[in-house]
Chains A and B, each alone.
Chain A
Amino acid sequence: MKTNKLEIMVCMGTGGIAAGGTEVLSAFESAIKKLKIPAKLKKGCSVHKVGCRGLCARDVLVDIIIKEKKSTYQYIKPDMVQRIVDEHIVGNQPVADWLATEDYHNFHEKQVKVVLSDCGNINPESIDAYFAVNGYEAAKKVLTLMSRQDVIEEIKRSGLRGRGGAGFPTGVKWEICGGVKNAQKYIICNADEGDPGAFMDRAIIEGNPHSVIEGMIIGAYAIGAGKGYVYIRAEYPLAVERLRKALEDAGKKNLLGKKILKTGFSFDIKVKLGAGAFVCGEETALIVSIEGQRGMPRAKPPFPVHSGLWGKPTVINNVETLANIPHIIRKGPDWFASFGTEKSRGTKVFALTGKVKNTGLIEVPMGISLKEIIYDIGGGMDKGRDFKAVQTGGPSGGCITADLLDINVDYESLAKVGSIVGSGGMVVLDDTDCMVSIARFFLEFTQVESCGKCVPCRIGTKRLLEILDRITAGKGKEGDIELLEELGKDIKASSLCGLGQTAPNPVLSTIKYFRPEYEAHIRDMKCPAAVCKELIEFTILEELCKGCGACVRACPANAIKGEKKKPHTLSSELCVKCGSCFDVCKFGAVKKE
């Protein structure tokens, strides 16, 4: 599409909005309105919002496309808009100071965007924008030209596996459910992204909701479902809003509802809001939650494909899985299978966070090395610190250490070293992170989120947490590490659902790779990373303190005293070990050990 059009795209995902995206957008709008350019030209001018393009850390990101030449600005604030309009749009001279730097482009270069290909390029609130990138072509093709079995075959051939964590082959799931004889079936999109550290599902729905809907239509057709649900967290208000708008628009275009596109196929989608329970990401819990009950999982078998929502055959797919479907249908299963490894086909979206320079959402082919992700895409360690580990798969996952950085990121390889792909959370940790504390953090999360139905998870995770609590408090006992291991293994073996079966993973994996750190806590009562409050002391180094008073103002406990411009003193009795002084001191005069 060759055009003289001027396009301004403002990143307005949750991150973009938080950084002031709404204000930036309206600043551009009003600036353009004020421009003295011919009305005809103005018409061709469009200012619009786009979804997340991954690197939220640089928000607000703005793309300006003039005559197909794209320039990207980073860290844009409303007061910067006028200058961009004046110099770049009117004067055709980009504001070089504010353009995205090289590493922004590096960040994107190694990525392969399938699911995210249109996120950040199209207006997620416009169905026409989706049409413009061949949206709903796949659904049309499926409904008009393909049989149910054809669709299932294509998906099977693509090798697509569930992106929610377990990695079950999607085509096989559809085939089983499709084979169950029942007049009423359901397809559910699991958008209950609960892993604290993963946000790709939110970004996909915020950035390209129609791709998920299209995936659901295709899935519903393949298994013979008449009704679909999107179970989405209430914590994602923007995603909910955009999804609802998209459903409404799709309904108006007869892409949903009765006799879709004048074929014999009818299908509709309802949105169900979660009410705050991580366990509802587990499929049987999700089902009862949609039915309006306490989200407590039940034993499988029977599996949902046989007896799911209201006892009917039900397929549950995660957001990313479904968003892959239209691409597979449009470009063919072989194209999709060309990415990734033998057993893990396609791409996977990860949420790269923690102590790397470029934090954000990335999409990479399966099998890429962890090193490439962290150093090439992530730009290396933040603040020049030392890499310690990367935690993948969130509360169900484990950690991977420096000597394993060459590992390929795919389902099998990660499992082999005791971690998982899981939902795609990837938290990079440096030498200031305490591994015991990280394990404790995840365990605290799973313990609070345990539904309480089965004993090992309800009481077991509580006991694990108690042991970790005492270790991080310097009250650990000889034998605690072995007890953690033993209990952890038993919980994994005997819990009812995936939550309990994986909850001990962060503990077991950190013990496996960082046992000496645990031992230091127990035997030496020291936290090597100086994180565990009870095991550290703050002191002010007289020789470095300039007496600026910043720490005095920051201290919530009035523990620091001293005259201006003279070295201060810190009372260890009053100190609550909040670390505020450490954070504010510009001279490195606060010592933590």
Chain B
Amino acid sequence: MEITSNVEKTLNRILKDFSAEEGNIISLLQLIQDEFGYIPESTVGWFSGRLDIPESRFYGIATFYARFYQKERGKNIITACCGTACHVKGADRVINAARIELGLAEGENTTDDMDFTLEQVACVGACSIAPVVIINKKVYGRQTSGRLTREIKALKK
């Protein structure tokens, strides 16, 4: 991502919010991600220079925590829960179906057209309605391969 003057305005605003956060890099990365959907490398360079915090530290933290994304993500985010309850209730099958529907190859999480990102999380804490899938922040309980495929098809339109 290029740091245009518009982006710079945003970054300056984040910098201001950040000063209230006790110099916490995680908070800063969260602010950046809230803004851009992921953590663009160029923004890390920008903040590193201004805060005198080494870039390596940003990178170490950004790659440590699973909820930080280094790459741009799809327009629609499908989050499949892989917690214990979901696992024993067949989350794998549901996820598999979604992968096939989205045409994602092994190791891929985002479709080539950047329309969808499929991610797996440890547990969203809705075990009693397992298996759970979250589509664009809306929680769907008792998912099946069929229902999820239908939801994805609907979003494709």
* Direct A–B contact present (CB less than 8 angstroms): yes
Question: B64–A197 contact, CB under 8 A?
Answer: no
Question: A355–B88 contact, CB under 8 A?
Answer: yes
Question: B128–A361 contact, CB under 8 A?
Answer: yes
Which candidate, A51-59, A86-94, A256-264, is the interface stretch facing chain B? A51-59
Residues of chain A with a CB closer than 8 A to B25's CB: 292-293
| A249 contacts B by Cβ under 8 Å | no
Question: B127–A353 contact, CB under 8 A?
Answer: yes
Which partner residue on chain A sits nearest B33 by CB separation?
A275
| A18 contacts B by Cβ under 8 Å | yes
Q: Tell me how many residues of B have a C-beta within 8 Å of chain A.
A: 48
| B85 contacts A by Cβ under 8 Å | yes
| B123 contacts A by Cβ under 8 Å | yes
**Given known A-B contacts A292-B23, A293-B61, A18 and B88 have beta carbons under 8 A apart:** no
Which partner residue on chain A sits nearest B26 by CB separation?
A292
Interface residues of B in 55-91 (CB under 8 A from A): 57, 60-61, 64-68, 82-85, 87-90
9 further interface pairs, Cβ-Cβ under 8 Å (given A196-B83, A293-B25, A554-B145): A15-B141, A18-B132, A273-B27, A276-B67, A277-B65, A277-B66, A294-B60, A442-B84, A445-B122
Residues of chain A with a CB closer than 8 A to B100's CB: 556
30 inter-chain pairs at a CB distance below 8 angstroms, sorted by A residue, are A15-B141, A18-B141, A193-B123, A193-B125, A194-B123, A195-B123, A196-B83, A196-B123, A197-B127, A199-B127, A203-B125, A234-B67, A237-B137, A274-B67, A275-B26, A275-B29, A277-B64, A292-B23, A292-B28, A294-B61, A351-B127, A353-B130, A355-B88, A359-B127, A429-B88, A433-B88, A441-B87, A445-B122, A578-B97, A583-B145
Partner of B30, one of A233, A273, A445: A273
Residues of chain B with a CB closer than 8 A to A17's CB: 139
| B155 contacts A by Cβ under 8 Å | no
Residues of chain B with a CB closer than 8 A to A199's CB: 123, 125-127
Residues of chain B with a CB closer than 8 A to A321's CB: none
Cα A445 to Cα B85 in complex, Å, equals: 13
| A518 contacts B by Cβ under 8 Å | no
Cα A272 to Cα B93 in complex, Å, equals: 34
Question: A427–B85 contact, CB under 8 A?
Answer: yes
Residues of chain B with a CB closer than 8 A to A442's CB: 84
> What 5 pairs between A and B have smallest CB-CB spacing?
A197-B84, A199-B125, A276-B67, A276-B66, A275-B65
| A307 contacts B by Cβ under 8 Å | no
**Given known A-B contacts A199-B123, A234-B67, A556-B96, A18 and B26 have beta carbons under 8 A apart:** no
Size bin of chain A's contact surface: 35 or more
| A472 contacts B by Cβ under 8 Å | no
Residues of chain A with a CB closer than 8 A to B83's CB: 196-197
How far, in Å, is B24 (CB) from chain A's closest CB? 3
Residues of chain A with a CB closer than 8 A to B125's CB: 14, 193, 198-199, 201-203, 233, 235-236
Cα A145 to Cα B67 in complex, Å, equals: 45
Which partner residue on chain A sits nearest B60 by CB separation?
A294
**Given known A-B contacts A199-B123, A355-B88, A276 and B65 have beta carbons under 8 A apart:** yes
Interface 0/1 of A172-210, CB less than 8 Å to B: 000000000000000000000111111101110000000
Cα A484 to Cα B102 in complex, Å, equals: 38
Question: A353–B93 contact, CB under 8 A?
Answer: no
Question: A235–B124 contact, CB under 8 A?
Answer: yes
| B140 contacts A by Cβ under 8 Å | yes
Question: A353–B84 contact, CB under 8 A?
Answer: yes
Partner of A295, one of B28, B65, B85, B90: B65
Interface 0/1 of A265-283, CB less than 8 Å to B: 0000000111111100000
